[in-house]
Structure 1
Amino acid sequence: MSFGTALKMCRNQKGISQTELSHLSGYSISYLSLLEKDKRDPNLSTIEKICAALNIPVSIFIFLASNKNDLKGISDELAKQLSLTALQLMEADSANANLST
């Protein structure tokens, strides 16, 4: 996967538009679009702000954005299971947040 793919996937999983993420993170819609298309490489502070806006731990996001070379020693099946579990937890978190509002 890539940073952009992970960003778009997490944003969609949380049900947040680019416009809403722009307001939450302080980054422009055009910059977020460039990130999602992998046309810009964010620094760590940018990743931290975006993860805070999405209410996702940075470590989980980095894992989701990792490619096969980054995950040496972890089987493809385990990586898929971990990714699926992370996405399900985000979905459950979003559902719980919607119930409390």
Structure 2
Amino acid sequence: MTFGEKLKELRLARNFSQPELAQAAAIEQSYLSKLENDKSLPSNEVFRQLLAALSVELSDLLHCPKLKSDLTRLKQIPDIDAFLSQRQQFTIGQQRRWWYISSALIVIAVTLFYIGQNERLFAQQLYQYQSKGVVLEGEPEAIFNTWIHLMPQGVDRAVKDAKQQEMLLREAIDTRFEASNLGDAVTLEVEGGRRYYEYQQKIVTADTISPWFRIVGVLLFCMGLMGFVLERKMFKHVY
């Protein structure tokens, strides 16, 4: 559809005759006839007068899909050229936002997936320490391990058995798990004396966070790709 055909369509839709519209727009009827037959384009001032007489907004007129084929010619009218330029800039701005958001989603997705691949990153490490019992004042730290070596040479068997029975009765194993390595052994004050904790082993707990990083990474990557696909479809007229 041409501008002249659209102008005539609007005039008839509002039940205007050519003389009536020409009078309302303050132009000659012969000039209006030329416009409707596409023998001329209105000046910017006349174009504004026609829109006012027809009670039509510029945006409503140009949003008509049928006029798309005649837009190149209509750009000779300054108001139309300015409106189309502004609309194009707005469209390009929206297109760039889609592109930036989609790119950001893909970058974040790759980062999260890479982090999720490193399962050791979120695996919790605990250090196990064990104490056999309370060490009394004056006793060496490792009394429960070395008491037999501290017995005088040649001591009676009965004395050794009694000491062994005493140490067995005092034995009360306590296990601690520390988030950091405290060394081969650590001594802590407790009620009645102190406890001597010896390092046993390092325990690595199962990592339950990394799989979620990978899942979220895949989802964001798909969203980023979908954003690029939608951007191409929504703004295909820009390319």
CA distance in 2, matches of 1:40, 1:57: 21
Contact 2:3/2:70 (CA < 8 Å) preserved in 1?
no
Written as runs of structure 1 = structure 2, the 5 A alignment for 1:1-101 is 1-64=1-64, 66-68=67-69, 70=71, 73=237
Please state how far the C-alpha of 1:69 moved relative to its aligned partner: 7.4
Gap regions ≥5 residues in structure 2: 72-235
Q: Note if contact 1:47-1:58 (Cα within 8 Å) is conserved in structure 2.
A: no
TM-score by length of 1: 0.62
Structure 1 runs of 4+ aligned residues shifted over 4 Å read none
- Would the aligned equivalents of 1:4 and 1:37 in 2 still touch at CA under 8 Å? yes
| Higher RCO (CA < 8 A, seq sep 6+) | 1
Distance 2:58 2:68 in 1: 16
Residue 67 of structure 1 aligns to a residue whose secondary structure is helix
Whether contact under 8 Å (1:4, 1:36) holds in the other structure is yes
Amino acid at match of 1:24: A
Deviation at 1:60, TM superposition (A): 1.6
| Code of the aligned partner of 2:37 | K
Q: Which deviates more, 5-14 or 54-63? A: 54-63
Is the Cα–Cα contact under 8 Å of residues 51 and 57 in structure 1 kept in the other structure? Answer: yes
Aligned-residue identity in percent: 33
Structure 1 residues 9, 48: closer, same or farther in 2, change over 3 A? same
Q: Give, as a single letter, the amino acid of the residue that structure 1 aligns with 2:40.
A: R
Q: CA deviation at 1:46?
A: 1.4
Structure with the largest fraction of helix: 1
- Give the structure with the higher percent strand: 2
Note the C-alpha offset of 1:68: 3.8
Over residues 24-78 of structure 1, what are the superposed CA-to-partner deviations in whole Å (9 max), with x where a residue is unaligned?
A: 01101000000000000112221110010111112222333622475x73xxxxx
CA contact under 8 A between 1:22 and 1:28: conserved in structure 2? yes
Q: Letter of the aligned partner of 2:29 in structure 1?
A: I
Larger radius of gyration: 2
Contact 2:2 2:69 in 1 (8 A): no
How many angstroms apart in 2 are the aligned matches of 1:33 and 1:3?
12
Take 2:69 and 2:34, find their aligned partners in 1: how far apart are those partners? Answer: 23
The range that moved more, 61-70 or 17-26, is 61-70
Scaled by the length of structure 2, the TM-score of the pair is 0.28
